[in-house]
Amino acid sequence: MHVNTEFANSRELCPKDLTTERRGIVDDYIVVVKTQQTSLLEIFHRSFVACYDPGSMACPQVSPKKKKKKDAISDSDNSEEEDEIPTTKELWQEFLHSLTLHGFRFIFEEGPKIRRIIWLIILIFALFMLLLQSKKSIQKYFDRPVTTTVQVEFLDEITFPAVSICNFNLFPYYLINGTIGEKVMSILAPQNYIDNKEEVLFARSPIPNFLNYLRRRRRKEPKKADDDDDIDVLGDDTTFGFDDTFDFAQFVRTHGHRIDHMIKKCRWKSQPCGPENFTAVITEFGLCYTFNSGLKGHPLLKVQRAGVDYGLRLSLSVQQDQYYGSLRDSSGFKVMVHDQEEPPLINELGFAIQPGTHTFCGLRKEVMHNLPSPFKTACEDKHLAGFKKYTKSACLLKCRADYVISMCKCRSYDLEGEAPPCLPQEVKNCVWPAMEIFRNESNNCECPVPCEITKYQVQLSYAQTPAKHFSEVLARRKHVRKDVMRHYLRDNFLELDVYFEEMQVTLITQRQAYDQESLFGDIGGQVGLFLGASILTVLEFCDLLARIVVNKYKQRKRQRSRTV
């Protein structure tokens, strides 16, 4: 390649006394930069003159990359030998200026002593407030507060509840007349029970000297065996067959009111139903019957619409003309609406319906979900022998049965258990007093709240039945007086409608009101409020500690290498 040496000489890029060989080298070097602008050529000329050594044949021909690599290696060797390891004090000073804990560095900075003391007091006060508020938050967390949420869920189909019905009368007259049942009733409800009740009813009677009249009449009448002490009434029990083989529960089952005699009309969703849709169950009230029990042979019934026409309608006969004995002084039925898996506590939880009324029972279903321990509700689903699902009613029945068995060494006719059934005299003299004691003592049972509870809220309304004109029509057809027919109907018949008011289920759910996320959030907010710090501040202290440990290790290593 031809090189314009005159241009190079005019720019004095190399001395004129250079030999031809040297000029060739310069020419080759200038070729590289000849394509650049004139200003760049002048700059490069200065660089070339600075690097040119007249004592040598040419400029050093070391490539820039190799030179940088060589310099880096030499620098690293020198830094490894000469770099000083920072002391703990230097690390501490550097740490203070970069720490995110507000106000902490002012305690250690150089300056007036009073300023550092003030900042120390402020920091201690902030730390105290932080600990105080954190304690409250932690205490609140361990108190396990609960919040309740209510959610209404609309459904296209709802399972109809179980409806249990019990007659106030224990045994009808036509089933125990002339049988051992008369002896049973004389034991359970002797004549002196009526006398005592009579004195209570007429204690303030407007009839003059009515009580004196009753006393004079009793003195004139011959004394009956039933008026004697209860123990005397039991004189010769074996003549009546009351031995250990007598099953009182079975007797109640066979001599109680029959469902086919009490039901006059049954309609389910406007379709006929009957006694076959009811299941017999023995309760404290005696022989009762449950509609839609869900037991074998009775599949669960469901409704798709709300209203009277889509529920259960019953026309019932109280059979008041067949009431026998004085065990109870009321007439009518006791009714309880409950879940299929909950036994009926008729005496405690049922509502009464009386003859001569049409009772409308509107229902709303509620399902409650409770929280287990350690929350205050401390719900628990215990296993109860003889029951599929744990409920409060089942637990109370089981507990009451165990208590009666422990006191009387036998079980009542309405309770389950392994002990033999109690005889009628044992029911009167031991079982009933034991139940009174059981009701008055609240600590007899350990029945925690179930974790899931299904309840039916009942809304009752009433109408009189039958209407006056209806009883008059029946009186003309039966050829009886109107007042006789009206009193007979109102003393013995009633109607009951059980239905859903809305196709909805109310879900009541307990939830933890203050969980771990809330606790950490409160404590984190308090740390930021009082100290202006966060969890990263703790990591900064950890980083400082790690750097100090590493530096100590390097110092020891260097000392060992020098001694070697």
CB atoms within 10 A of CB 432: 14
Retrieve residue 252's tokens. 């109640």
Task: Determine the pLDDT at residue 196.
Answer: 56
Smallest CA-to-CA distance from 355 within 487, 231, 261, 445 is with 487
Smallest CA-to-CA distance from 363 within 273, 237, 283, 456 is with 456
Retrieve residue 77's tokens. 């060797």
Retrieve residue 42's tokens. 């002048």
C-beta of residue 120 within 8 angstroms of C-beta of residue 107: yes
Rounded Cα gap, residues 440 and 319, in angstroms: 34
Rounded Cα gap, residues 114 and 117, in angstroms: 5
Retrieve residue 302's tokens. 């469901």
Q: Checking DSSP bridges between strand 452-464 and strand 357-369, what pairing results, if any?
A: antiparallel
Smallest CA-to-CA distance from 15 within 62, 60, 52, 61 is with 52
Task: Output Rg (C-alpha) for the chain, integer angstroms.
Answer: 51
pTM of the model: 0.69
Rounded Cα gap, residues 3 and 275, in angstroms: 127
Retrieve residue 200's tokens. 């209570």
Rounded Cα gap, residues 500 and 366, in angstroms: 12
- The three state secondary structure string of 60-78 is CCCCHHHHHHHHHHHHHHH
DSSP-based three-state secondary structure for 461:
strand
Smallest CA-to-CA distance from 389 within 298, 482, 454, 444 is with 454
- The three state secondary structure string of 340-358 is CCCCCCHHHHCEEECCCEE
Task: Determine the pLDDT at residue 38.
Answer: 47
DSSP letter at 108?
A: T
Retrieve residue 192's tokens. 């002196």
Smallest CA-to-CA distance from 19 within 58, 51, 60 is with 58
DSSP 132-145: HHHHHHHHHHHT--
Task: Determine the pLDDT at residue 150.
Answer: 96
C-beta of residue 140 within 8 angstroms of C-beta of residue 516: no
Could you tell me which residues come within 8 angstroms of residue 558 by beta carbon, excluding any fewer than 6 positions away? 85
pLDDT tens-digit profile of 125-150?
A: 999 999 999 999 999 999 999 999 99
Task: Determine the pLDDT at residue 454.
Answer: 95
Q: What is the mean pLDDT of each run of 10 residues along the chain (564 residues)?
A: 46 46 43 44 48 45 50 51 73 83 83 89 93 94 93 96 96 90 85 55 50 52 44 39 78 93 95 95 94 93 96 95 86 96 92 96 96 91 88 91 91 86 90 89 82 95 91 89 90 96 96 92 90 85 90 85 75
With tokens 């009542």, the residue in question is 412
DSSP 172-200: BHHHHTTSHHHHHHHHHS-HHHHHHHHHH
Rounded Cα gap, residues 556 and 110, in angstroms: 31
pLDDT tens-digit profile of 529-554?
A: 888 888 888 888 898 899 889 988 88
DSSP-based three-state secondary structure for 111:
coil
CA 428 from centre of chain: 42
**Helices marked H in 256-409 — which ranges?**
259-262, 346-349, 392-408
Residue 72: what are its φ and ψ, rounded to 5°?
-65, -40
CB atoms within 10 A of CB 124: 10
Distances (CA, A) of 269 to 210, 273, 295, 310, 443: 53, 9, 20, 4, 44
Burial 236-262 (b: 16+ CB within 10 A, else e): ebeebebeeebebbebbeebbbbbeeb
With tokens 């394509």, the residue in question is 35
C-beta of residue 199 within 8 angstroms of C-beta of residue 234: no
Element of type H or E holding 501: strand 493-512
Rounded Cα gap, residues 151 and 511, in angstroms: 13
Q: Residue 363 burial by CB count (10 A; 0-12/13-18/19+): exposed, middle or buried?
A: buried
DSSP letter at 301?
A: P
Could you tell me which residues come within 8 angstroms of residue 255 by beta carbon, excluding any fewer than 6 positions away? 171, 175, 176, 179, 181, 287
